[in-house]
Amino acid sequence: MIGNGGSDRPAAGGGRGRVWSARLLLSSPLLARVLALLLTLAVCGYLILPLAALFTRTTLALFLGSLQDPTVLDALYLSMYTAIATMVVVVLIGTPFSYLHARHAYPGRFVVDALIDLPLLLPPAVAGLALLLTFGRNGLLGQYLNLFGVNIAFTTVAVVMAQIFVASPFYLRQARTSFDGVDQRYEQISWTLGASPVRTFFAITLPLAGSGLLSGAIMTFARALGEFGATIMFAGNLQGRTQTMPLAIYSTMQSNLNGAVTIAILMVIFSFGVMMAVKVLTLGEQHA
């Protein structure tokens, strides 16, 4: 018993010494900088290397040549067309909705907030299936639309509807936050001076919330541009009709890898441009 007790005390002392040594090392400014540098390199490397692999997989000549491919051109045109249409529809409907939602309290508003955020949490394939079961030929509403010869599924309209479903929360959330950030005293002063609510909205509220609304619109465009799961489930994958750039990558990567890489590089460029635009707008708003 005495021997065991004596052997435990040095071990405990050695353990405490190692703990203190670790604490001293972690508290060292130099070591902290080294760890920060290593972690930064690891994170950036993990994010950059896959993107760099896209650019090293092709050459400028192959890239420019692939831009003449009808599949690439059709996908590029359709993606830009549908993403812009989605952004316009979301902004036109989402702006007044978000303003009223931000300015007026009503029973169940938290439920509406949850419904707005729900598409962000749903897998895109679930969203596409839900849209198909609603607006498809035999869907909940589609069966009645079909009586009038209106078929939505597997059309370009279906692409836009799928993109609106998954991308609209980006604008709706940002718009409400932007309107919440506008001091209501400015609106009240405008009303006191005789301006109508509509004129006050366009002359006072909208300009003050403008940078946030623009950021939300850009993010909506980017999300619509990259949509895949909901589109392929609800609209299909028909070249020139419903095949957007993500779907074209999926279709061509087996038979035309250069074409798939070209589309992927275009999407990386678009995404980087969108990110930089949002960063510039955000920094401008912070310095304003």
pLDDT in tens, 149-197: 999 999 999 999 999 999 999 999 999 999 999 988 998 998 989 889 8
Query: Quick one: which of 149, 152, 119 has its CA closest to 134?
Result: 152
Q: Is residue 272 part of a domain?
A: yes
- Domain assignment of residue 247, yes or no: yes
Q: Are 86 and 167 in contact (CB under 8 A)?
A: yes
Kindly report the CATH number assigned to the domain that includes residue 275: 1.10.3720.10
Distance CA 149, CA 89 (A): 24
Q: Is residue 49 part of a domain?
A: no
| 192 belongs to a structural domain | no
Q: What's the pLDDT tens digit per position in 58-88?
A: 888 888 888 888 999 999 999 999 999 999 9
Q: What is the pTM of this model?
A: 0.83
Would you tell me how many other CB atoms lie within 10 Å of the CB of residue 68? Answer: 8
Domain of residue 236 covers 61-183+213-284
The torsion of the CA quartet 42, 47, 50, 51, rounded to 10 degrees, works out to -130
Assess if residue 45 is contained within a domain.
Answer: no
Amino acid at site 126? V
Q: Is 205 inside a domain boundary?
A: no
Number of domains, the chain? 1
| 188 within domain boundaries | no
**200 touches 191 (CB < 8 A):** yes
Nearest residue to 249 via CA among 105, 80, 88, 75: 75
Q: Which of 95, 78, 97 is nearest to 162 (CA)?
A: 78
Decide if 228 is inside a domain: yes
Q: How far apart are CA 277 and CA 280, in angstroms?
A: 5
With a cut of 60, say whether residue 234 has pLDDT above it: yes
